[in-house]
Amino acid sequence: MVKTIVIASDHGGYNLKTICIKTLEEWGYEVQDEGPSSLDSCDYPLYAAKVTAEVKADDDKLGVLICGTGLGMSMTANRMGVRAALCSNEFHARMAREHNDARILCLGERVTGQGVALGILKLFLETEFGGGRHQRRVDLIDTVSN
């Protein structure tokens, strides 16, 4: 089971990031906070890059990226070569892990309420990848992208 969660946001996701960190610690995870440390306006790609690099370098880590919509974070992480899933409900979260082996969860603080976001987070972390035909399809993402 993955125990270390690397997390970051921009200003648009900062409040939800704070709640996620507190909750992850209560659930027993080790949390690596890659910033920011205030609500000051900042640029989401810089924070997405920090988390994506950490997750790419260590198979035992999963990532969480939060901005206003979750869109910019997911675009950046996916372009950097790590499967990142923008989830707005629990079905998304389960499928992102079970079928797509996503390693980074993206959330939109301005889109998804706190209670739903924490439900998504829990399911994302507790669902295992299904393997089998899903492994073939995930491998094909890289094949068709190169």
Distance CA 92, CA 9 (A): 20
| Residues in contact with ligand RB5 by the rule CB under 6 A | 10, 12, 44, 67-69, 71-72
Q: How far is the CB of 12 from ligand RB5 (least distance, A)?
A: 3
Q: How far is the CB of 82 from ligand RB5 (least distance, A)?
A: 17
Please confirm, yes or no, whether 99 is among the known catalytic residues: yes
Residue 12 vs 63, nearer CB to ligand RB5: 12
Nearest residue to ligand RB5, using CB? 72
Q: How far is the CB of 44 from ligand RB5 (least distance, A)?
A: 5
Kindly name the residue from 11, 20, 67, 92 that is annotated as catalytic. Answer: 67
Residue 41 vs 146, nearer CB to ligand RB5: 41
Q: How far is the CB of 138 from ligand RB5 (least distance, A)?
A: 25
With residues binned 3-state (H G I as helix, E B as strand, rest as coil), the percentages for the chain, rounded to 5, are 50, 15, 30
Residue 77 vs 101, nearer CB to ligand RB5: 77
Residue 82 vs 101, nearer CB to ligand RB5: 82
Q: How many CA atoms lie within 13 A of 8 on its CB side?
A: 24
Residue among 137, 105, 110 at smallest CA distance from 123: 105
Q: What is the DSSP string of 42-111?
A: --HHHHHHHHHHHHHH-TTEEEEEEESSSHHHHHHHHHTTS-EEE-SSHHHHHHHHHTT--SEEEEETTT
Which of the residues are catalytic? 67, 99
